[in-house]
Structure 1
Amino acid sequence: MTNWQTAGPADWERRLQPMVTVVPYLLLGGLTLFTVIVEHGHGIALDLGLGAVAAGWNLVFFTVRPAWRDRPRIMEVFLGGLILLGLALAARHPWFGFYTPALYFYAYRIIGWPRELFYVAGAGLVAGTAQATGSDYGTWAGRLTWLTVVAANVVPMCLLAWLIQIAARYHQARDRAMHETQEANSRLATALAENAALQGELVEQARLAGVQDERSRMAREIHDTIAQGLTGIVTQLQAAGHAAADPAAWRRHHEAATALARESLTEARRSVNELRPEPLDGGRLADAVTDVAARWSARQGIPAQVTVTGDRRVMRPAAEVALLRTAQEALANVAKHAPDAGRVGLTLSYMDAQVALDVRDDGPGFDPAAHTAGFGLVAMRQRIEALSGTLQIESESGGGTGISACLPADPPEARP
């Protein structure tokens, strides 16, 4: 709306103060003075009286009562009275038609849409009446002339009011759209900042998870290489100490300890360089398991038989490493916890969708319910389950121990 309330009191007063306090009075004063000069006293008292009433009306209702400008009904009374006074003056003297700019100004600015059209039409009536002076209102031709002149003023000025209203609505819609766009941009900036912070948190969590996974991997590698090798070395040295009276037995244990030390050193170097386990270099899993079992059997003096079933095929490196480590850990547990076992059997089974490794011994066994799993079994389970596999441990007192690890034969992305 192009009225007082839309513009705001302070802004309206600052920009249009001259039109409010000066122009209406200058127009009335100048036109009244011109009337006095031209009329030479004929009916001048009435003209002066109408001009004074118009000035006083403007002064009382608008100039000295700023608070009334926010009250639409009072403003309608004010402008309606001012239009009637202007019409009376224009009917007496045509030059009072020059007072209509003040009337149009008030109609456009202080009366809200669409009521302002009535007051714009009233100002056009004043202008048309002034312009049609001299017409014979007693004849139809005179009256038609007056109506035509009035319409020529009213229609364009009402059309102008309508165009101003359209422009005002356009600017309001544009301002509202700009405000909404700014709010949307602000929300988007906030969301982007939150997403950036969340992404940073996710990256940090991923980094920490990667660090934790790498620590777990290194812990398993150390256990599966250095720790197992050191355990075997200690076992062989203890056995050599017990066989001090038997040079041949002492030499065999000493050579086994030396070989274990060399293998452990090699494995430690390869683990640091993130290479595959030495037995898998240049060979398949079945051959690597057979080689590990043969060397273990030579050191421990316990027969270890490897059986391979199904069609041998190359698996993903991580799966082969996991199964080989499982075989090494299971054999290390036999040497540590069942040194009196009579034999150990390792079965590597290649099935359609899975590959399984079973390691069984005829040692004393243990009660799984009463046994707390050490790091070796925990690391073994973590390594297998990390590759979507399963690990089962079967044992009972006096009945030996069996460890069964099963992994998918193909990588998850290769499976339909």
Structure 2
Amino acid sequence: MFLTVGADSRWRRLFDVLQRWLPILLLGFATVSNLALEGQTWGHRWETLGLVAIAAVLVLLTDTFVPDSWRHPLVSACSFTVLLASASVLMHRDLIFLAFMITGFFRAITLRPRWVMLLGLVATSMLINGIGSGGVLAALSDWPYTYLLIVVVQSGAIAGGYLMAERVVLQNEQRREALAELESALEENAGLHQQLLAQAREAGVLDERQRLSREIHDTLAQGFTGIITQLQAAQESGADPAERQRHLAAASALARENLDEARRAVHALSPEALEGKGLPDALAGIVSRWSERVGVPAEFTTTGAARSMHPEIEATLLRITQEALTNVAKHAEAHRVGLTLSYMEDQVTLDVRDDGRGFDPQRARTSDYAGFGLAGMRHRLRRLAGTLAVETEPGGGTAVSASLPAVAAPGLGR
């Protein structure tokens, strides 16, 4: 095959067949055209047909029927020589066989190495342009400069055009390979994202169990212990109604606090706020209710084109919002809070800012500041390849920024 064609296999096979039989087809065309000429005797015609038959047999045996496995440089050079010699004999007999000689150009560009290809093109050009003038020697004698200029320009143009076409085809193949590799990488990346989210879901179940266990131990269990203690104290208060009423009131207050803690734990366990709502609407509702309950003005805004994210992404951002607002209520003593949900091409980011008293980030790692929950936020985000950035200083407020990859919801494009 003398050209690398970037078509599909069907057109490639058709092209291979065509280029193998091209010399025979052009020989047949030239022969028919020659026999149709007037003024020839039948003897001359039969002689032409004999030469054509010999040329056809030689080309079929040395070129058309040669297997691809035999087409090494020496065999190709021999096949080209036979083709050029046969075409020269016929073209000397009648210039109409110039059509057959043209196949020399097509065969020459298959020759290797490159310098042999160039010699083949020059030889074909010299014969095509010289035989019509009485032969190559006659052309060199009668009009040498013009003749050589035509040969050089013709051979150079064909060689240059072929090399440029070959380079373009090679570049196209490289682009196709690069695109195929990119598509494969994107598919692999999507699979890794899904695997990551599946692992995160499994890890999230364990995290929620551990969190709920801590909630029960740290709040509910202690609260029930306090209630029981107060009720026992009320029973033992004897005839003092005021003392009994005080213990009963304390038990009632502890029960209400425990109920609030239980509701908060269940709410954090299952993000019901997302049911039937988009993430921006869910976060806006959480911020509004938090502001009414705590009495601190809070503003929520969304930037970028909002779109459905993977449920794990949205649930994580919702819980980060709840945790951040809880921290503000417990620790910040803020007068104003601002939250921004930003949708970008590859990331979705939640920024929470307050004008509270701030804190020392180094001390936040100690047990005295464990209630800030920064480690828990980072853990949640890390499971989904996210990051958490905190900017704060004592008296300067706090800014928390949570970023996650913008993985679209299953079945949706980005």
1:256 matched residue in structure 2: 243
Offset from partner CA, 1:87-132 (integer Å, 9 cap, x none): 3444455444343222223334x43462322222222122111232
Distance 2:6 2:223 in 1: 84
Q: Give how far 1:136 is off.
A: 8.8
1:111 matched residue in structure 2: 111
Distance 1:56 1:412 in 2: 87
Q: 1:44 to 1:133 in 2, by over 3 A?
A: farther
What pairs with 1:310-325 in structure 2 (closer than 5 Å)? Answer: 318=330
Q: CA RMSD in A?
A: 4.6
Mapped contact 1:68–1:75 kept (Cα < 8 A) = no
Q: One-letter code of the match for 1:148?
A: T
Mapped contact 2:2–2:107 kept (Cα < 8 A) = no
1:310 matched residue in structure 2: none
Q: 1:170 to 1:5 in 2, by over 3 A?
A: closer
Q: Give how far 1:183 is off.
A: 1.2
Mapped contact 1:97–1:126 kept (Cα < 8 A) = no
Mapped contact 1:79–1:106 kept (Cα < 8 A) = yes
Distance 1:22 1:2 in 2: 17
Q: Give how far 1:79 is off.
A: 0.9
Offset from partner CA, 1:327-379 (integer Å, 9 cap, x none): xxxxxxxxxxxxxxxxxxxxxxxxx99xxxxxxxxxxxxxxxxxxxxxxxxxx
Q: 1:57 to 1:147 in 2, by over 3 A?
A: farther
Query: Structure 2-normalised TM-score?
Result: 0.53
Partner SS, residue 214 of structure 2: helix
1:268 matched residue in structure 2: 255
Mapped contact 2:26–2:100 kept (Cα < 8 A) = no
- Percent identity between the two aligned chains: 16
Distance 1:412 1:75 in 2: 74
What pairs with 1:202-241 in structure 2 (closer than 5 Å)? Answer: 202=200, 205-206=203-204, 208-210=206-208, 212-235=210-233, 237=235, 239=236
Distance 1:167 1:83 in 2: 25
Mapped contact 2:108–2:121 kept (Cα < 8 A) = yes
Q: One-letter code of the match for 2:370?
A: A
2:172 matched residue in structure 1: 174
Q: One-letter code of the match for 2:55?
A: A
Distance 1:271 1:412 in 2: 33
1:23 matched residue in structure 2: 26
1:306 matched residue in structure 2: none
Query: Structure 1-normalised TM-score?
Result: 0.53
2:341 matched residue in structure 1: none
Distance 2:220 2:367 in 1: 13
Q: 1:18 to 1:99 in 2, by over 3 A?
A: closer
Mapped contact 1:226–1:264 kept (Cα < 8 A) = no
Offset from partner CA, 1:56-90 (integer Å, 9 cap, x none): 21122123434566333212101112213333444
Distance 1:162 1:100 in 2: 20
Mapped contact 2:130–2:136 kept (Cα < 8 A) = no
Distance 1:135 1:81 in 2: 18
Q: Give how far 1:13 is off.
A: 3.5
Distance 2:4 2:54 in 1: 24
Q: Give how far 1:174 is off.
A: 1.6
Q: Give how far 1:37 is off.
A: 5.2
Partner SS, residue 22 of structure 1: helix
Distance 2:137 2:186 in 1: 71
* Unaligned ranges ≥5, structure 2: 265-326, 333-358, 361-365, 374-389, 397-414
Mapped contact 1:221–1:271 kept (Cα < 8 A) = yes
Mapped contact 1:32–1:48 kept (Cα < 8 A) = no
- Does 2:188 correspond to 1:190? yes
2:161 alignment partner, one of 157, 160, 163: 163
Partner SS, residue 149 of structure 1: helix
Q: 1:212 to 1:42 in 2, by over 3 A?
A: closer
Mapped contact 2:234–2:243 kept (Cα < 8 A) = yes
Q: Give how far 1:178 is off.
A: 2.1
Q: Give how far 1:187 is off.
A: 0.6
Q: 1:196 to 1:64 in 2, by over 3 A?
A: closer
Mapped contact 1:128–1:146 kept (Cα < 8 A) = no
2:370 alignment partner, one of 381, 386, 408: 386
Q: 1:193 to 1:174 in 2, by over 3 A?
A: same
Partner SS, residue 216 of structure 1: helix
Partner SS, residue 251 of structure 1: coil
Distance 1:43 1:221 in 2: 113
* Unaligned ranges ≥5, structure 1: 241-249, 277-314, 321-351, 354-381, 390-410
Aligned residues: 282
2:386 matched residue in structure 1: none
1:333 matched residue in structure 2: none
What pairs with 1:395-406 in structure 2 (closer than 5 Å)? Answer: none
